[in-house]
A and B are shown apart, each in its own frame.
Chain A
Amino acid sequence: MFKRVMWATDGSEASDKTLEHLKEFVAQLDGELLVIYSEEFTLPGKGGGSLPRHADEDVVQDKIKRQVAELSQSGIPTRLEITTSKVGSAAHEIAEVAERERTDVIVVGTRGHTLLRGLLLGSVTQRLLQIAPCPVLAVPTRLDKKD
């Protein structure tokens, strides 16, 4: 049953941990994957004077490109979309793309509780859950797994 799956990653370690689960999920659905990363800037547009939000933006993007390659190699048709948004509107960007692409489900990682219970959801994930035009699959990614 063909499904359009989107993986919204913020380039964090927590997001990275959703990869295995994501692979299984998409493969089992016989789906197609769109990986989306929203590059946040401090000012609108890339034009004059704006700075990327993450100092190591290039490193993050390289990692995501490698992840996309890994997903493709595992047999899942995978595309990458890197969008630009003002700081704080990444969720809006992601929702826009999901609507345009007629995404069936958006997969996001949750931060996982370390010492800070209640910060399970990153701010983008939280916002996305409120505005997404389709179901959202929130995958727990415990950074300090204790059993």
Chain B
Amino acid sequence: MILICYDGSADSKAAVEHAGELFSGQPATVLTVWQPFVEALAHMPSGFGMAPGEIDYEAIDTATRQSAEKQAAEGAKLAREAGLDAQPKIREQQTTTADAILAEADVLNASAILMGSRGLTGLKSLFLGSVSHVVLQHADRTVLVVPSPDIATARKRQRHK
């Protein structure tokens, strides 16, 4: 079972595509991680300028969860089109996105974790995204890091300067 991390970004789409090419026909879980609003708030010391009593956490989380489900379903569809036996899954983030990914990989005992490199074009394309970096540092299993076509092109351009 391979675990594909999907957030709708260009490089996660590239990860799905490469998963199809390199792990053809294998069972795959396409995972979208979502964050409860209270967690998002905790990362913003000044808050969103709303009084605590005004916030309907449940409604926000329900909407977030639905959005994540939709995204995972989109990823699973792409994965099936790429030749994988794919199912969507969402997971609530408790601490960090990377931790959620690693935890899911453990639950599935995934043979590989696939994810986008999450760089940005230009100079910033030289850096690995924070989630990929942490997953790579802590995974006890194979990790495939995939640059999106734009990032791959930007990296080539950087090297030829």
* Residue among A104, A121, A133, A137 making CB contact with B155, cutoff 8 Å: A133
**Residue A73 is within 8 A (CB to CB) of chain B in the complex:** no
Number of interface residues of B (CB under 8 A): 28
Interface residues of A toward B: which range? 20 to 34
B residues adjacent to A (C-beta < 8 A):
18, 21-22, 24, 112, 117, 119, 126-128, 132, 136-147, 152, 155-156, 158-159
Contacts of A132 in B (CB 8 A): 147, 155
- What is the predominant secondary structure among interface residues of chain A facing chain B? mixed
The answer to whether B159 and A1 touch across the interface, beta carbons within 8 angstroms, is: no
Contacts of B158 in A (CB 8 A): 131
* Residue among A120, A130, A137, A138 making CB contact with B119, cutoff 8 Å: A130
Contacts of B144 in A (CB 8 A): 105, 135-138
The answer to whether A99 and B18 touch across the interface, beta carbons within 8 angstroms, is: no
| Distance of A4 Cα from B117 Cα, bound (Å) | 20
Give 17 A-B pairs besides A130-B127, A130-B128, A138-B136 with Cβ atoms closer than 8 angstroms.
A3-B21, A92-B159, A95-B155, A95-B159, A99-B159, A105-B18, A105-B144, A110-B136, A121-B137, A129-B117, A131-B155, A132-B147, A133-B147, A133-B155, A135-B22, A135-B144, A140-B141
* Residue among B143, B152, B159 making CB contact with A134, cutoff 8 Å: B152
Q: Mark A110-140, 1 if CB is under 8 A from B, else 0.
A: 1000000010110000100111111111111
**Residue A65 is within 8 A (CB to CB) of chain B in the complex:** no
A residues adjacent to B (C-beta < 8 A):
1, 3, 21, 29, 92, 95-96, 99, 104-105, 110, 118, 120-121, 126, 129-140, 142
| Distance of A101 Cα from B144 Cα, bound (Å) | 20
* Residue among B137, B147, B156 making CB contact with A99, cutoff 8 Å: B156
The answer to whether B138 and A133 touch across the interface, beta carbons within 8 angstroms, is: no
User: B128 → chain A, closest Cβ, in Å?
Assistant: 5
